[in-house]
């Protein structure tokens, strides 16, 4: 065994300084480039913007891009509901409801679906909630752009500021977008939503009737089996009408619909974003997504809106809406590979030079021999 002993401290200092400089240079040479799928994401964002304009025009006839300034923000009157209404099921954050109206949120949804490497025509299970109509539009937009086949079930009741106008529920918005040719699909079935998926304690008998009226006028299957457990089974039956659960390529859930997630506490146990499988937790109750997970169907769960906004640098609660194409969803940061190679080669040259010019100070000896006694 042999080892070198370096006598020249100045070369050690010079080498260390140069190495640190090269490291800093590479670390600060990160470049921002467009993602490979940026065109699809931009298409999704534009289609969502078109969908919002269609709903705005439908709800406020005569409002166009030319006279839009006559109303401070038409989206506040079309896509945001009230704090309280006869079909309000729960509390909610108005900031979240505004954040998901950003057309660039559709690009986020597209990115999630692209991450799962789905193919054109793949069937996916989709569960939507009246609580976040903006996120619903973003999801359907991404699905349409990627030419997927969705089977959609909606919970009609909505939390604060969601689609809680009894005459303009999510099902009504969805029908308008279907009739206007924005989307070629719409919900197959719907339930009331709320804490038991039957409307919950916060909705009166009048509110339940208003929800039933919305479901009937939009001609979708009404899932109302009497208990949460039976409603979960009812949703599974609707999905199985199209295909066995294992044949679905993904399940996408927007919001915290109780039949979808099984129990309110599961909102904190299920990670937001893409999950190829659900984490092993002590779930108080199993929802529809758990049964899909048992069949190894990956999940896209849209719940923590602030987390998504921070990750993709989307503004929270901003009206008027941001421009299409803004946000980190369209770009990614990468190290400059060319600079990294230059730094590596430079380090090799520096090490070779250090050894060459300092060779007089290298003394080779056998292990345990004192180098200071060598002549």
DSSP code, position 109: H
Task: Give a yes or no: residue 355 inside a domain.
Answer: no
**E-state strands within 189-334:** 189-191, 221-222, 250-254, 273-275, 299-302, 331-334
Task: Give a yes or no: residue 19 inside a domain.
Answer: no
Identify which of 335, 332, 337, 334 has the alpha carbon closest to the alpha carbon of residue 115: 332
Are 203 and 194 in contact by the 8 Å Cβ rule? The answer is yes
Q: How confident is the model at residue 1 (pLDDT cuts 50, 70, 90)?
A: very low
Is pLDDT at 5 greater than 70 in this prediction? no
Task: Give a yes or no: residue 8 inside a domain.
Answer: no
Task: Give a yes or no: residue 357 inside a domain.
Answer: no
Total structural domains in the chain? 1
Average pLDDT value for residue range 338-356: 76
Task: Give a yes or no: residue 343 inside a domain.
Answer: no
Task: Give a yes or no: residue 375 inside a domain.
Answer: no
Domain, as residue range, for 127: 34-331
DSSP code, position 158: B
Task: Give a yes or no: residue 302 inside a domain.
Answer: yes
Task: Give a yes or no: residue 1 inside a domain.
Answer: no
Q: What's this model's pTM, rounded to 2 decimal places?
A: 0.81
pLDDT digits 0-9 by tens, 150-166: 999 999 999 999 999 99
């Amino acid at each position: 065994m042999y080892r070198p002993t370096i006598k020249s401290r100045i070369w050690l200092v010079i080498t260390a300084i140069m190495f640190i400089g090269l490291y800093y240079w590479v670390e600060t040479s990160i470049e921002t480039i467009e993602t490979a799928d940026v065109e699809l994401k931009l298409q999704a964002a534009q289609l969502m913007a078109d969908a919002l304009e269609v709903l705005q025009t439908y709800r406020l006839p005569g409002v166009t891009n030319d006279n839009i300034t006559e109303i401070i923000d038409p989206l506040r009157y079309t896509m945001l509901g009230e704090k309280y209404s006869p079909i309000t099921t729960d509390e909610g954050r108005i900031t979240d409801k505004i954040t998901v109206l950003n057309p660039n949120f559709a690009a986020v949804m597209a990115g999630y679906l692209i991450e799962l490497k789905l193919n054109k025509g793949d069937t996916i299970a989709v569960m939507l909630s009246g609580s976040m109509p903006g996120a619903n539009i973003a999801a359907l937009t991404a699905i349409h752009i990627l030419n997927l086949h969705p089977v959609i079930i909606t919970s009609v009741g909505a939390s604060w500021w969601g689609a809680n106008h009894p005459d303009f529920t999510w099902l009504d918005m969805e029908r308008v977008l279907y009739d206007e040719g924005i989307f070629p699909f719409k919900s197959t079935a719907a339930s009331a939503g709320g804490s038991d998926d039957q409307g919950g304690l916060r909705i009166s008998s009048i509110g339940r009737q208003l929800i039933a009226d919305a479901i009937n006028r939009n001609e979708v299957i009404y899932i109302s089996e009497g208990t949460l457990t039976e409603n979960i089974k009812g949703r599974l039956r609707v999905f199985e009408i199209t295909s066995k659960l294992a044949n679905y390529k993904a399940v996408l859930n927007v919001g915290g619909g109780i039949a979808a997630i099984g129990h309110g506490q599961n909102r904190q146990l299920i990670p937001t974003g893409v999950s190829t499988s659900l984490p092993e937790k002590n779930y108080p109750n199993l929802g529809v997504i758990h049964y899909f997970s048992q069949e190894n169907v990956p999940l896209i769960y849209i719940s923590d809106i602030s987390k998504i906004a921070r990750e993709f640098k989307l503004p929270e609660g901003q009206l008027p809406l941001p421009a299409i194409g803004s946000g980190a969803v369209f770009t990614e940061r990468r190290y400059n590979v060319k600079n990294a190679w230059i730094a590596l080669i430079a380090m090799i040259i520096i090490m070779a030079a250090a050894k060459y010019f300092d060779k007089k100070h290298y003394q080779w000896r056998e292990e345990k021999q004192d180098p200071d006694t060598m002549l």
